[in-house]
Chains A and B, each alone.
Chain A
């Protein structure tokens, strides 16, 4: 038996109707494993925020979720514009989302703060013009 179950999801750009599909799938799998409802809640919220970010800012990307008996690791990799000022992006309410996205009810500036809030570890690697990889861990 392998120690880790890896799930991968392609996130398509500009498709809000599909944002949330990946987090929903992960959620149902975690329920099947019997992960505590509290941990499932954290993973679902953090991953959904990440998915939406990838749709709004990064023209999609790839999410890898590694489920092990001790932790859930989410790796969100995109080839978007990169984050120029991480400190600012981490502030609640700060957003660079365009108006048309805000008119859909997104872009409230809570994405990254919520991802940090609902995970036990979060690491951002970003290079302007190259892309961003965010790694989040929820301990079980």
Chain B
């Protein structure tokens, strides 16, 4: 699988070429070129911020349709803990789990149950690897992808354990094979996801060669169907839940860390905050820190772009739901251990390098510095890049030109028209003396240059007008 596979895509037919997404993208992965947004696959970490911000809904997440369940003889649902936080007045997780079975799944395996096993393994890993602290959580795949491209010094601090989704999938497959006797391909493992980042994880996992999850469904697709089935479950649902407080808490920021029974942790949520913490971690600004939990979405997984409830309301609901639960109900057992550790490492991908080798990158950086002094520094986004610096980087990479900057273009026009004016004055003065053909042709060249530059500027202004009209 492509190591830069992405679940966040663009629907060009809906894209107006505005600058909302380029400004919001935390890795500056988006450019507007020829009136449409383009996502740079190497920079993108599938955090979904552009999906959140796009006013035209042109940014989309790819995931599977609910009907896919029917393609399998035996389908198992892996509900994310954040799913439970979507419902009003839910006091028993079993209602959701039974409703999933009514919806068409043959069995359910809670990701929160696997999370309790991962919590246990994490506690053990931290105590055995004190030379590696602070250990950074790897449950959020956007964070892992971010570290992979931007924070090479932090790769050795990453927790080399599979996220709960993968442990749940492994255990669910084992259980289904044993109970049904079916071959693996007739069993479908479905993760019900709060975010597109997990789709990316399933298609192109980091830390393991191949994910055992077969399909990813969006919470927002499953939610309306579940609601009607939940009413049919009744007041005395079959006991299906195998997780407690620790597992359920993984759905919100700070939940994973609280399962470590240590005070010396930090939990940050929201991609910008995550980046700030990673920068500080890289500068070794923190002392006595054992664990760092990072979630790309505000509030943690409850804030994923594929959920329906407001993340802060969802967090309250999750808290209420946890209240009468036991601390944990799933534990590491013989046989489960093999599903937990990473089986492959994560390699640094230096995608932000300016050139192929150090000398080329060095001279390109020098050019970027010079260009930055020349560009207006307004970060207006009109060129399609989020900042003047980003445009300068695009120019040295050969992906853009100085003329993409409307201010640069305008200044050029002014300079040219001044030169023409001087030349014309000069000519008028000498006209009576002798007709100079050389000067005349120089004038014509200048006029030609001006009309060329004008044409570029006009086309830019026209594009903007078209967008403005469409919006009105």
List the interface of chain A (C-beta within 8 A of B).
1-2, 5, 7, 20, 23-24, 27-29, 31-35, 37-38, 40-41, 44-45, 48, 67, 69
Contact = CB atoms under 8 A, between A and B. Distances in A.
B150 interface: yes
7 contacts: A5-B362, A32-B352, A32-B368, A33-B353, A34-B350, A40-B153, A45-B284
A101 B355 CA distance: 42
Given A31-B150, A41-B282, A48-B285, A5 B366 contact: yes
A67 B283 contact: no
B283 A23 contact: yes
A28 B354 CA distance: 11
Nearest to A7: B369
B342 interface: no
Contacts of A24: 279, 283
Given A5-B369, A33-B354, A20 B283 contact: yes
B363 interface: yes
Interface in B326-381: 348, 350, 352-355, 357-359, 361-366, 368-369
Contacts of A69: 358-359, 362
B152 interface: yes
A65 to B, nearest CB: 11
Contacts of B350: 31, 34
Contacts of B364: 32
Most buried by A among B284, B355, B359, B362: B362
Interface in B114-152: 150, 152
A101 to B, nearest CB: 15
Contacts of A23: 283
A108 to B, nearest CB: 9
Nearest to B354: A32
Contacts of B282: 27, 41, 44
Contacts, number: 65
Given A20-B280, A34-B355, 7 more contacts: A5-B362, A7-B369, A28-B352, A33-B361, A34-B353, A34-B361, A37-B152
A27 to B, nearest CB: 7
Contacts of B355: 34
B366 A2 contact: yes
Most buried by A among B284, B352, B359: B284
B153 A41 contact: yes
A45 B283 contact: yes
Given A37-B348, A40-B153, A45-B283, A29 B365 contact: yes
A33 B365 contact: yes
A45 B282 CA distance: 8
A45 B281 CA distance: 10
Contacts of B280: 20
A67 B364 CA distance: 13
Interface residues of B, dominant DSSP: helix
A81 to B, nearest CB: 26
Interface of B: 150, 152-153, 279-280, 282-285, 348, 350, 352-355, 357-359, 361-366, 368-369, 393
Nearest to B360: A34
B362 A37 contact: no
Given A2-B366, A41-B153, A32 B361 contact: yes
A38 to B, nearest CB: 8
A1 B150 contact: no
A38 B364 CA distance: 22
Contacts of B279: 20, 24, 27
Contact of A37 (B153, B357, B359, B393): B153
Contacts of A32: 352-354, 361, 364-365, 368, 393
Nearest to B358: A34
Most buried by B among A1, A24, A31, A44: A31
Contacts of A28: 352
Most buried by A among B150, B280, B282, B355: B282
Contact of B352 (A2, A5, A31): A31
Nearest to A40: B153
B283 A33 contact: no
A87 to B, nearest CB: 25
A35 B355 CA distance: 12
A66 to B, nearest CB: 12
Contacts of B354: 32-34
A5 B358 contact: no
Nearest to B350: A34
Contacts of B283: 20, 23-24, 27, 44-45, 48
A34 B366 contact: no
Most buried by B among A23, A37, A67: A37
Nearest to B280: A20
List the 10 closest A-B pairs by CB distance, nearest first.
A37-B152, A33-B361, A34-B353, A1-B363, A32-B354, A48-B283, A34-B361, A37-B153, A41-B153, A34-B358
A1 B284 CA distance: 35
B284 A67 contact: no
